[in-house]
Structure 1
Amino acid sequence: MESWKVNIISVWFGCFFTGLAISQILPFLPLYVEQLGVTSHEALSMWSGLTFSVTFLVSAIVSPMWGSLADRKGRKLMLLRASLGMAVAILLQAFATNIWQLFILRAVMGLTSGYIPNAMALVASQVPRERSGWALSTLSTAQISGVIVGPLLGGYMADHLGLRVVFFVTAALLMVSFTVTLLLIKEGGRPRVSKAERLSGKAVFATLPYPWLMLSLFVTTLVIQLCNGSIGPILALFIKHLSPDSSNIAFMSGFIAAVPGISALFSAPKLGKLGDRIGTARVLMATLIFSVVLFFAMSWVTSPMQLAVLRFLLGFADGAMLPAVQTLLVKYSSDQVTGRIFGYNQSFMYLGNVVGPLMGAGVSAMAGFRWVFIATALVVLINVWQLGLALRRKRQKDEQRNLRS
């Protein structure tokens, strides 16, 4: 078997265990914040948002540094650093005794993150270009699968064994990722920084046929991550508000957090093939509009079951959106600069992970849980408008080029 195929299989398991480990904690993190002594609604909403977003904020700041080191030392070293570092940071979170300790440890975790983006970069750099779409979509199912199982397993353990136990199990799973990476993943030769990678950002964009469309796709990536992140800090608290007498809030939160992943797992390959037939941009626009409708509907739910059904439907859109953006990025950039373009897109992804939880926590504290869904829907609606303008500008440019030729 070719080495890049062995790496895909190995990295798939590494990404699965990483996605499983991280998603085990996120659904009940607000409950852990509450357990550490934060009680008022406003303070609980804000601290939940801060502990969610600080990890991604630090990741966004240090990501260029790790990227530069990866160019010199290789992606495998970055995968080992991320899995081992996160394992240690999450293990220490189990021993937090106040909210400030948790906040600082979540920031430290941001310093060590980056397993899945580096895994994507490793695979993209080794797979033949004509098979990169298949390889990246296959790899995305690993994280989706982990995100499905993680909240369910984490919620069950939190309800029956206690919140702190989940941190111990999560650290152990990340050590599995570390072991898989160390023993199975092979990276040929020391990577060299090419001339393309030494181009300035302005020079990179000068090589693109549609630079404004690229920027629009970066913003779309940010908005997609914002959608997922804005609900995170308030999900468990909102479910508790909808069902105050329930004795298994953590498991219910885990289940509702995992539900979109189930539908996304099925929709991702099917909508990807549909995009090949009718156009990836059309699929992207349709799924964004569909998500606007669903977020507005979520603001009216009166029971956890209604929320679960709407989030299940949202998963069908989630499964298509990020792969569609990545497909368009590959389509409209050359081999020479694809790596840099994906690096910029990763930065916008981290920014979305920062802005989303902060927006959700802030809106919740000021206006209540339901307004978080309305605010998220409005942000996506604005993004649909700006992406539509960028796609129309591209079509006009194509028409002018055809007239000249």
Structure 2
Amino acid sequence: MLVCWFGMFVTSVGMSQIAPVLPLYIKHLGIDNSASIAQLSGLAFGVTYIISALFSPLWGLAADRVGRKPMLLRASLGMAVVICSMGLAQNVYELVGLRLLQGIITGYSTACTTLIATQTEKEHAGWALGTLSTASIAGGLLGPIIGGGIEESLGLQNVFFLTGALLLIVFLTTMFFVKESFTRQGKEMLQMRDIWQRIPDKSLTVVLSVTYFIITLALYSIEPVVTIYVTQLTTDMTHVALLAGMAFSASGLASIIAAPRLGKLSDKIGAQKVMLIALVVAGVIFLPQAFVQNPWQLMGLRFLLGLAVAGLNPSVNVLIKKITPSALTGRVFGFTISAGYLGVFGGSVLGGQVAAWWGIRYIFFITSALLLLNAVWVYATMFRKLNRQEEAISQNERSEGITACNRSNRGD
């Protein structure tokens, strides 16, 4: 479990740590025009997530067919080589190509989530997946501030070399310490249509994937403009970059603290209840972020947002495990993780466009509305349905217990 957590954290950092150093690195590679730097920065950052969204289901399929540990080894070693190579890029086109290749070979999160979901007992699944989700959330949200810190203290190229070295450590620890009991189920190569037909509850799967998309979209909607927003909130221009990184990463720190606890809570009261409450709370917390007067208020609200969001990812994963046959778990997790990657890209695009057309504060209004509408949809389509199922199961268990007790009293 610890190795998987460390691996997911480092791979998520590897995906996101380049964001604050991209403009500087592109300038270092010979691009001087500010408009071209902005365009190429957006392309280099976004292409990894778009390609990852396309390839995650394929790696999920491979994980179901050959095992999850081989996929962990492939992804960690491949990313180590590719990210180190970025530090040796000679021009911006090589950098963009390597970011594209990184999107193709990623898949550590898909395999790791599937491994933990299939190897963990049902009664502890919420805690395990909650703990694991902190790695992905924290790595993605803390990655930019980690990358910025390494750049400031060690230099641009060392951002890539140090991250690649950490991924090589992930590869070695995975090889020696991760154990998997894997039995291949079925030899046929299922097409996408066949996989969809075998999913027992298609409507719930769609709801969960869309919810995962909305979660990541909400988290990353502020990323393109957080530095600009902090600039509007402070007169101290000497530490704007640091304050912006702290504001963006505050939600990641909160998620590390809260996700395991909310995962345990979902084991007790039901993941659908935790997810619905977390969606409503997150939607409400977005609103006051539009009215903050200084960066510290923004950080505090982002921290509270992280506490709420921490209950969403593990709940989605627990419910996917619950409604999906074990033979298809990797592929379905691949679909939802693809939705998450699309959410990162979509959130960045949405935030930038809304800020350009209406102003930064409207980002918070629109994101809040999306989360609250998603909560209504979850309640109407999933919450009541799963509650009725749980009540029926509980009633059957009580009836069976009463029947067994009566037989025992009669001496049957």
Q: TM-score range by the shorter chain?
A: 0.7 to 0.9
Q: Which of the residues 379, 387, 391 maps onto 2:370?
A: 379
TM-superposed deviation, 1:390:
0.8
Q: Distance in 2 between matches of 1:226 and 1:155?
A: 22
Q: Distance in 1 between matches of 2:38 and 2:165?
A: 29
Q: Distance in 1 between matches of 2:295 and 2:90?
A: 31
**Partner residue, 1:283:** 274
Confirm whether residue 256 of structure 1 aligns to residue 250 of structure 2. no
Contact 2:113 2:333 in 1 (8 A): no
Q: Distance in 2 between matches of 1:120 and 1:104?
A: 28
TM-superposed deviation, 1:340:
4.1
Q: Deviations over 1:135-161 (max 9, x none)?
A: 322333444554576444433233334
Query: TM-score, normalising length from structure 1?
Result: 0.82
Q: Deviations over 1:28-50 (max 9, x none)?
A: 5466567754535xx77665544
Q: Distance in 1 between matches of 2:38 and 2:116?
A: 38
SS in 2 for 1:117: helix
- Tell me which amino acid in the other structure corresponds to 1:204: R
TM-superposed deviation, 1:122:
2.1
Q: Which of the residues 215, 226, 244 maps onto 2:217?
A: 226
How many pairs does the alignment contain?
390
TM-superposed deviation, 1:337:
4.5
Q: Distance in 2 between matches of 1:395 and 1:174?
A: 39
Q: Distance in 2 between matches of 1:352 and 1:215?
A: 15
TM-superposed deviation, 1:322:
0.9
**Partner residue, 1:3:** none
Q: Distance in 1 between matches of 2:131 and 2:283?
A: 27
Q: Deviations over 1:148-197 (max 9, x none)?
A: 764444332333344433222212211211221223223456x5243798
Q: Distance in 2 between matches of 1:368 and 1:45?
A: 19
**Partner residue, 1:155:** 148
Confirm whether residue 185 of structure 1 aligns to residue 178 of structure 2. yes
Map 1:303-382 to 2 at 5 A. 303-335=294-326, 337-382=328-373
Greater Cα offset, 229-238 or 80-89: 229-238
Q: Distance in 2 between matches of 1:139 and 1:109?
A: 22
Q: Distance in 2 between matches of 1:344 and 1:315?
A: 24
**Partner residue, 2:18:** 25
**Partner residue, 1:5:** none
Q: Distance in 1 between matches of 2:352 and 2:96?
A: 15
Q: Distance in 2 between matches of 1:108 and 1:81?
A: 13
Identity %: 39
Contact 1:242 1:304 in 2 (8 A): yes
Q: Deviations over 1:90-139 (max 9, x none)?
A: 23333456655443332221012111221121222333444333332233
**Partner residue, 1:127:** 120
Q: Distance in 2 between matches of 1:398 and 1:67?
A: 28
- Tell me which amino acid in the other structure corresponds to 2:197: A
Contact 1:234 1:361 in 2 (8 A): yes
Unaligned runs of 5+ in 1: 1-7
TM-superposed deviation, 1:300:
2.7
SS in 2 for 1:266: helix
Contact 1:90 1:170 in 2 (8 A): yes
Q: Distance in 1 between matches of 2:46 and 2:241?
A: 20
Unaligned runs of 5+ in 2: 397-412
TM-superposed deviation, 1:222:
0.9
- Tell me which amino acid in the other structure corresponds to 1:159: E
Q: Which of the residues 31, 34, 43 maps onto 1:39?
A: 34
TM-superposed deviation, 1:55:
0.8
Greater Cα offset, 156-165 or 237-246: 237-246
Query: TM-score, normalising length from structure 2?
Result: 0.80
Change (3 A) 1:122 1:197: farther
Confirm whether residue 139 of structure 1 aligns to residue 132 of structure 2. yes
Q: Deviations over 1:36-85 (max 9, x none)?
A: 54535xx7766554433211111122223323333443322222221222
Q: Distance in 2 between matches of 1:261 and 1:126?
A: 26
- Tell me which amino acid in the other structure corresponds to 1:18: T
Map 1:200-279 to 2 at 5 A. 200-205=194-199, 207-208=200-201, 211-243=202-234, 246-279=237-270
SS in 2 for 1:299: helix
**Partner residue, 1:63:** 56
**Partner residue, 2:83:** 90
**Partner residue, 1:52:** 45
TM-superposed deviation, 1:198:
4.1
Greater Cα offset, 178-187 or 111-120: 178-187
Q: Deviations over 1:189-211 (max 9, x none)?
A: 6x524379848134223x23xx3
Contact 1:49 1:360 in 2 (8 A): no
Structure 1 stretches of 4+ moved >6 Å: none
Q: Distance in 2 between matches of 1:216 and 1:352?
A: 14
Contact 2:278 2:312 in 1 (8 A): yes
Q: Distance in 2 between matches of 1:243 and 1:32?
A: 27
Contact 1:87 1:175 in 2 (8 A): yes
Q: Distance in 1 between matches of 2:287 and 2:23?
A: 23
Q: Distance in 1 between matches of 2:146 and 2:382?
A: 42
SS in 2 for 1:330: helix
Q: Which of the residues 273, 294, 298 maps onto 2:289?
A: 298
Q: Distance in 2 between matches of 1:383 and 1:326?
A: 17
SS in 1 for 2:238: coil
Greater Cα offset, 337-346 or 94-103: 94-103
Q: Which of the residues 86, 92, 103 maps onto 1:110?
A: 103
Q: Distance in 2 between matches of 1:381 and 1:27?
A: 31
Q: Which of the residues 185, 194, 214 maps onto 2:186?
A: 194
Greater Cα offset, 143-152 or 67-76: 143-152
